[in-house]
Chains A and B, each alone.
Chain A
Amino acid sequence: MSRRVLLAKVGLDGHDRGVKVVARILRDGGFEVVYLGLFNTPEGVAAAARDEDVDVVGISMLSGAHLTLAPAVVAALRALGLDIPVVVGGIVPDADLAELQAAGVAAVLTPGTPADEIVATVTSVLA
C-alpha cells in the first residue's frame, strides 16, 4: 500500500518553491502526495489530514513563524485524536530545533537537504 503524505503551507507566507519541489521529490520517491496549497490554518491542516487519511503531515514555513505555527499543527492533530507525525520544512535556526522537538515535531528539514535524505527522513518518521 502506498504511503500518503499531506503537504501544506501554513500561515501567511506565500513562498511555495520549496514545498512544491519537496512534493515532487516525495512523489518520485514513491509517496502519494496530497498538496493542500497556501494559507492554511493549523485546524484546516488537521481536518484535511483526517479526511485524506494520510500517514504523515509536512508543513513548510520560511517566514520565522514556525515556533508559533508548527506546535499549533501538532496540537490540532492531537485534538482530533490523530497521532500522525509532523515534519517541518523550511528556514529553522538550529537554536529552535529542541523547542520544535519538545512540541512534538518528528523531524525538521532545512534548506539544502538532498532529495534522498528527504525521502529517508519522511520514511523513517513512519517507522
Chain B
Amino acid sequence: MSWQRSEPPRDPACENAGVTTNRERWQAAFDAAPTRDADFATMSGLGLDPVYGPDDGEFPGEYPYTRGPYASMYRTKLWTMRMFAGFGTADDTNQRFKELLRAGGDGLSTAFDMPTLMGLDSDDARSLGEVGRCGVAIDTIADVADLYRDIDLGAITTSMTINAPAAVILAMFVANAEEQGVARARLGGTLQNDILKEYQAQKEFVFPPRPSMRLVRDTIAFCTAEMPRWHTISISGYHIREAGSTAVQELAFTLANGFAYVELARQAGLPVDAFAPRLSFFFNAHIDFFEEIAKYRAARRIWARWLRDRYAATDPRSHQLRFHTQTAGVSLTAQQPEVNIVRTAIEALAGVLGGTQSLHTNSYDEALALPTDHAARIALRTQQVIAHETGVSHVADPLGGSWFVEALTDEVEQRAEAIFAHLAELGDGSLLEGVIRAVEEGWFQSEIADAAYDFEKRVNKGRRTVVGVNDFFEGNDAVEPALLRITQADEQRQRARLDAVRGARDEAAVAAALRALGERAADPDANLMPVLIDTVRTRASLGEVMAALAEVFGRHVEVPRI
C-alpha cells in the first residue's frame, strides 16, 4: 500500500493494555475527546468516519502527526476563525474587534502600524504619514487599555503580530491586564515574536540579530515560568512566502527558525518539554492548492521527528506542530478585485484540508488598501461557508492516502531536509548559529529575492497565468471599490493622545525606570521582562523604551542587495 512509508512507532504502554492496531489506539484517543454537536454525514445522509485509512496506517493525533496534531481534529472543535485587524487609533480598532466578535469571530488578532512595529512613537519624525495606516498605533499602556476595552482578556485569546518590540508590547499587555484585574497566568494568546524572519523577509527589525535573540529568550523564559497559557512565538513562514519564497523555502526556513529558537531556549537552560508545547507556527496558504496541503503535512512530520530525535523532547505536545494560516496577500490582484474572493476561498480550503488550527482569510480589497468592514465580513463568511456548508471538516486529513498528495508531501519534506543540512553545515552543527550566520550573510534574503524574480519572469512570459494580470483582462477598467481611508486627522488624534499621557505621568519615575532598564539590558544574563513591565507601568512610551534598549544593543542596518 503506497501510503505506508514507514512503520509508525508503537507505544508499549498501549500494547500492554491489549491495544493491537494503530486504528484501535487512535479510536481510544478519539473516544476520549469531546465531539461537537453536528451531523457528520453527507447531504445524502451517508454517515462519515472521523478518518479513513488502513488499520495499520498512520492516524491523526499520533507521531509523526502527518495527518494532524489531534485524534479528533475538527470533530472536537473547528479551527479558530481569527481575523487580523488593526487601523487608526486603539479606539478605532477596539470597535472593529467588537464588530468581528459580534459577527461570530472567536479570536482576536492585532495588527500594529509601521511605527509601532519599528518601536517608534507616533510623534517621531520618522512616523509621519504612517501612523495608524497598516495597523493600530500603540504608544503607551494607555493605548493598550483602549485597544482591549470591554473585552474579557481572561476569556478570549489574543494574537499580537509584533516582533522587534515584542517584549515591550507583551509587557504592556501584561501590565494592562493586571491593572484591569486579570492575572497574567490567565492570559491566553500568541505573541508573534519571531525576529529571525524579520531579517529574512519582513524587514521590520530594530536591534542586531544577537541582542534581538536575547529578548526572544527572555520572553520564552518569562512566559514558561509565569504565563502557562501563552504562546511565546508564532514561528512564521507567512512573511517569507509573501516576500517571494517558494513553498519549500517557506517550509524549510520557518522550521529552521523554529529549531534555532529551540536551541536558544535549551542554551538558556530550559528543558525542551517546558517550552516547546507553547511554540506555534504560522503559514501562508497560497494558490497552488496541493503543494500547500503537502507543505502543512510535511511540516508536522518534520517538526515531530526533529523535536523527538534531535532535541530529545518526550512530551507529545512538544512533537505536535500546531499552526495558524493566512491566505496569501501576495496572490491578490488590484485588477478585478472581486476575483480575490475566489482566490481566498480556495487558499482557505487548502489550509483547512491541511489541518490548520486557526485561519485568517484576506479581504478582496487588500491589494488596494486596508479592508473595509464590508470586505472583512465577506472574508469571514468565506470561512463560515467552508466550515458549515461544505462538509470538509467532517473527516480528518481527507487527502491522506492520495498517491499524489503523499508523494508531494514526501518530496517537499526531502527538499526541506536539504536546506536544513546546508544551514547546519553553516553553523558547524548548530541550527541556531547556522540561521544567524545565514541572516548575517544575506543568504535567506537573496534566496527569497531570486525566487520572487523567477516567479515574476514566469508571469511576464505568460508561463504562469494570473487572471486579470496577464490574461482575461475584460473588466480591468472597472471603477475601484470603495476603500478604507486613513486620514491625517487620525494621525493628529493619536499624537494628541500621546501628548495627554505624557502630560499626566510622573516624569521622574519614567526616567528612573528607563535608567534601570538600560542597566539590566547591559547584563546579558538578566531577564528583561520584569523590568520592562515595571517600566511601561510608568507610562513610558514604546519609543522611549526601545531607544533605551538601542543605547545598549545598537541598531541593525541591512546591507542593500538587489
Q: Is there an interface contact between B367 and A91, defined as CB atoms closer than 8 Å?
A: yes
CB closest chain-B residue, reference A66: B129
Q: Is there an interface contact between B128 and A68, defined as CB atoms closer than 8 Å?
A: yes
Chain A, residues 58-81, CB within 8 Å of chain B (1/0): the string is 000001110111000000000000
On chain B, the residues within 8 Å of A110 by CB distance are 334
Task: Give the dominant DSSP class at A's interface.
Answer: loop
Interface residues of A in 3-31 (CB under 8 A from B): 11-17, 20-21, 23-25, 27
Q: Is there an interface contact between A27 and B204, defined as CB atoms closer than 8 Å?
A: no
- B335 adjacent to chain A (CB < 8 Å): yes
- B118 adjacent to chain A (CB < 8 Å): yes
On chain B, the residues within 8 Å of A93 by CB distance are 368-369, 480, 483
How far in angstroms is the closest Cβ of chain B from A17?
A: 5
Q: Is there an interface contact between B334 and A63, defined as CB atoms closer than 8 Å?
A: no
Interface residues of B in 244-299 (CB under 8 A from A): 244
Q: How far is the CA of A116 from the CA of B134 in the complex (A)?
A: 31
Q: How far is the CA of A108 from the CA of B370 in the complex (A)?
A: 20
Q: How far is the CA of A93 from the CA of B130 in the complex (A)?
A: 16
Task: Give the dominant DSSP class at B's interface.
Answer: loop
- A94 adjacent to chain B (CB < 8 Å): yes
Q: How far is the CA of A64 from the CA of B115 in the complex (A)?
A: 13
- B375 adjacent to chain A (CB < 8 Å): no
Cβ contact of B460, chosen from A11, A67, A114, cutoff 8 A: A114
Q: Do A27 and B483 form a contact, CB below 8 Å, given A38-B203, A63-B114?
A: no
Interface residues of A in 82-120 (CB under 8 A from B): 91, 93-95, 110-112, 114-116
On chain B, the residues within 8 Å of A33 by CB distance are 562
- B103 adjacent to chain A (CB < 8 Å): no
CB closest chain-A residue, reference B198: A14
On chain A, the residues within 8 Å of B470 by CB distance are 114
How far in angstroms is the closest Cβ of chain B from A40?
A: 10
How far in angstroms is the closest Cβ of chain A from B35?
A: 43
The stretch of B78-86, B141-149, B449-457 in contact with A is B449-457
* Total number of A residues with any Cβ neighbor in B under 8 Å: 35
How far in angstroms is the closest Cβ of chain B from A127?
A: 23
Q: Is there an interface contact between A21 and B453, defined as CB atoms closer than 8 Å?
A: yes
Interface residues of B in 90-123 (CB under 8 A from A): 114-115, 117-118, 120
Q: Is there an interface contact between A12 and B562, defined as CB atoms closer than 8 Å?
A: no
Q: How far is the CA of A24 from the CA of B448 in the complex (A)?
A: 14
CB closest chain-A residue, reference B449: A20
- A54 adjacent to chain B (CB < 8 Å): no
Q: Is there an interface contact between A37 and B117, defined as CB atoms closer than 8 Å?
A: no
- B373 adjacent to chain A (CB < 8 Å): no
On chain A, the residues within 8 Å of B449 by CB distance are 17, 20-21
On chain A, the residues within 8 Å of B562 by CB distance are 20, 23-24, 27, 33, 35
- B393 adjacent to chain A (CB < 8 Å): no
Q: Do A25 and B368 form a contact, CB below 8 Å, given A12-B114, A12-B118?
A: no
- B202 adjacent to chain A (CB < 8 Å): yes
- A36 adjacent to chain B (CB < 8 Å): yes
On chain B, the residues within 8 Å of A116 by CB distance are 460
Q: How far is the CA of A100 from the CA of B102 in the complex (A)?
A: 39
Q: How far is the CA of A4 from the CA of B329 in the complex (A)?
A: 32
How far in angstroms is the closest Cβ of chain A from B412?
A: 22
Q: Is there an interface contact between B126 and A16, defined as CB atoms closer than 8 Å?
A: no
Cβ contact of B480, chosen from A11, A67, A94, cutoff 8 A: A94
How far in angstroms is the closest Cβ of chain B from A10?
A: 10
Q: Interface residues, chain B, CB within 8 Å of chain A?
A: 114-115, 117-118, 120, 126-130, 133-134, 198, 202-204, 242-244, 330, 333-335, 367-370, 448-449, 452-453, 456-457, 460, 466, 468-470, 479-480, 483, 486, 488, 558-562
18 A–B contacts from the bound complex (CB under 8 Å): A11-B114, A11-B130, A12-B117, A12-B118, A14-B198, A15-B203, A16-B243, A17-B242, A17-B449, A20-B449, A23-B562, A24-B562, A27-B562, A41-B126, A65-B130, A91-B334, A91-B369, A116-B460
Excluding A13-B134, A64-B133, 10 further A-B contacts by CB distance (< 8 Å) are A11-B130, A12-B204, A13-B114, A17-B242, A36-B560, A38-B558, A63-B114, A65-B133, A93-B480, A115-B456
Closest 6 CB pairs of A and B: A68-B129, A37-B560, A14-B203, A65-B129, A12-B114, A64-B133
